[in-house]
């Protein structure tokens, strides 16, 4: 099976945010999508090991904010590569709260949805939240960032036709097929020891795919 084929599915990049018993937290996800239009429903899939997922499960509601192309890589690192168990991710970022008291970032996000969880489906490694869209709003006119844009921007490119060609010639990247962490260490991926594990979700080297 060519798992890299899955990277041709188009995704956006989002921040899932929630607040439970005074603890607010959020993390980066790419697995949010609209499921039905009337009434508006969305599905959101998250790793069980994400602190945000455990808070959403208890709270029963969340925000999804849509990153724009203006979103800096530092924000994606702060919300997607460390856990709110160990820090207050909102410390240096302006945010608002929705009617459920769940936080969402305001700067560089282009839209926000306020979701109420209707059903939670256990997918072994992940939880799938089926949600009603209770509210939604535009935050700016900036274009949404896709996951493909993120990969180009992360490797130092800018998003545009000429840069896409340049990125196509760039050396292979290794991406975790479980949580989408992109290896960016100094040691070439091929030379990492066999017991190397993904720093985000803990799966082994064999779960990385060259893209």
Residues of the shown chain interacting with ligand FMN in the complex, contacts defined by CB under 6 A? 25, 27-31, 46-47, 50-52, 76, 80-85, 150, 179-180, 200
Nearest residue to 69 via CA among 30, 13, 129? 13
Residue 139 CA to residue 146 CA, distance in Å, equals: 17
Q: Which is nearer to ligand FMN, 117 or 141 (CB)?
A: 117
Give the 3-state secondary structure of residue 61. Answer: strand
Nearer to ligand FMN, 29 or 111 (CB): 29
Helix or strand holding residue 66 (H, E): strand 61-67
Element holding 52 (H helix, E strand): helix 51-59
The secondary element (H helix, E strand) that includes residue 56 is helix 51-59
Q: Which is nearer to ligand FMN, 28 or 66 (CB)?
A: 28
Nearest distance from C-beta of residue 191 to ligand FMN, angstroms: 23
Q: How far is the CB of 16 from ligand FMN (least distance, A)?
A: 8
Residues 173, 189: Cα–Cα separation, whole Å? 9
User: How far is Cα 182 from Cα 105, in angstroms, rounded to an integer?
Assistant: 24
Residue owning tokens 């292979």: 172
Least Å distance, CB 96 to ligand FMN, is 19
Strand partners, 12: 146
Complex with ligand FMN: residue 76 or 117, whichever CB lies closer: 76
Indicate the residue among 38 and 178 with the shorter CB distance to ligand FMN.
178
Q: How far is the CB of 11 from ligand FMN (least distance, A)?
A: 8
Which residue minimizes CB distance to ligand FMN? 80
Q: Rounded to the nearest whole angstrom, what is the least distance from the CB of residue 200 to ligand FMN in the complex?
A: 5
């Amino acid at each position: 099976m060519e798992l890299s084929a899955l990277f041709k599915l188009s995704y956006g990049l989002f921040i899932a945010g929630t607040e439970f018993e005074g603890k607010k937290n959020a993390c980066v996800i790419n697995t949010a999508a609209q499921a039905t239009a009337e009434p508006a429903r969305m599905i959101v899939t998250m790793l069980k090991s994400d602190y945000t997922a455990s808070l959403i499960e208890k709270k029963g509601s969340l925000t999804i904010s849509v990153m724009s192309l203006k979103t800096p890589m530092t924000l994606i690192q702060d919300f997607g590569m460390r856990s709110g168990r160990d820090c207050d991710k909102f410390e240096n970022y302006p945010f608002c709260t929705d009617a459920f008291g769940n936080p969402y970032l305001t700067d560089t996000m282009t839209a926000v949805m306020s979701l109420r969880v209707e059903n939670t489906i256990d997918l072994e490694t992940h939880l799938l939240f089926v949600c009603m869209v209770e509210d939604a709003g535009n935050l700016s006119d900036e274009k949404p960032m896709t996951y493909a844009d993120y990969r180009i921007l992360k490797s130092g490119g800018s998003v545009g036709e000429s840069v896409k060609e340049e990125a196509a010639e760039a050396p292979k990247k290794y991406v975790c097929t479980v949580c989408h962490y992109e290896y960016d260490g100094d040691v070439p991926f091929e030379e990492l020891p066999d017991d190397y594990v993904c720093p985000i979700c803990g799966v082994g080297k064999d779960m990385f795919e060259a893209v």
